[in-house]
Amino acid sequence: MSTQYKKLYHSIFDLYHKEENKNKLLFHGWHHIKFVHDKAIEFTKELDARLEIVASASLVHDLNYIFSDKLEPEAAKTQVKEHLKNAGFNEQDIKLIVETIENAHLGYRGERQLTNEAKALADADTLFKALPTTPILFASKFITQNKYSIEKLANKIIDEQEPLIIKDEYFYTKSAKDKYSNWANVNLQIWKNVLESLNDQLIIEMLKIANELGVL
C-alpha cells in the first residue's frame, strides 16, 4: 500500500477515536469501518478490483455520520475529498474513490452501474447489515444514533434490501452469495416479523410501558 493510503488510515483511525465521535457513532463507529475495510479487501481479490481504491473508500465511506445528520454519503463529499487530498491522493483517484462510495451506497443500489471497486465495498458494507449479530447488538444503536423509531428502521431495511434479494443483487461476489445469503434472508425475515409484531396491541402496550420505565 502507498504512503497516501497509510497516511489516510492513520488520520481516519484518529478521527473515529476522538471522544466525541466514539460517543456519537454507536452503529457507524470504528468497529463498523474496520470490519467493512477488512472484508472489502477480501472481496477486492475475488473481483480483481484496485485494492488501494477499495481500501481507501472503505475508510471514508461513512464520514457523513460524523459531519452531518444525513444518511447519504454525499453529505460529507467535501470532507471526504479533504481527507484524501491531505493524505496525498491525486485528483483522478479522489474522483474514483468518491464515485465508489456513492455507487456502493445501499440506498442507491439497483439504480447504478457498479464498478468492481464499488461492488467490493458494497458487499462488505451490506454484509455488516446482514450479520446475525447486527440486529441483536447494533440495531438499537442505529435507532439511538439516528433518532429512528423501530418501525421506521424496519421499513427502511425492508424497502432497501428486499428488492435486491429478489433481483439477486444483494451480494455481487460469489463467495458472499454462497456464504452469507442465508444470513441476509434471515435478517430480512426478522425485520418483516418486527414490522408485523408492531400491529399487535399487546406488543404496542408493552413497548409503551418499557418506554415509560426508561427501559427503551
Cβ proximity of 84 and 100 under 8 Å: no
Other Cβ atoms within 10 Å of 192 Cβ, number: 14
CATH of the domain at 106: 1.10.3210
Helix (H) or strand (E) holding 24: helix 19-24
Q: Tell whether 38 is covered by a domain.
A: yes
Range of the domain at 91: 3-197
For residue 182, how many other CB atoms are within 10 A of its CB?
11
In a domain, 121, yes or no: yes
- In the chain (216 residues long), the average pLDDT of successive 10-residue segments reads 94 96 94 98 95 97 94 92 96 96 87 91 96 95 93 95 93 96 97 96 94 87
Does residue 216 belong to any structural domain of this protein?
A: no
With a CB cutoff of 8 Å and minimum separation 6, the contacts of 62 are 28, 32, 33, 73
Q: What is the pTM of this model?
A: 0.92
Which cell numbers hold the place of 125? Answer: 458494507
In a domain, 203, yes or no: no
Alpha helices (H) in 48-115, listed in sequence order:
51-60, 64-67, 77-87, 91-104
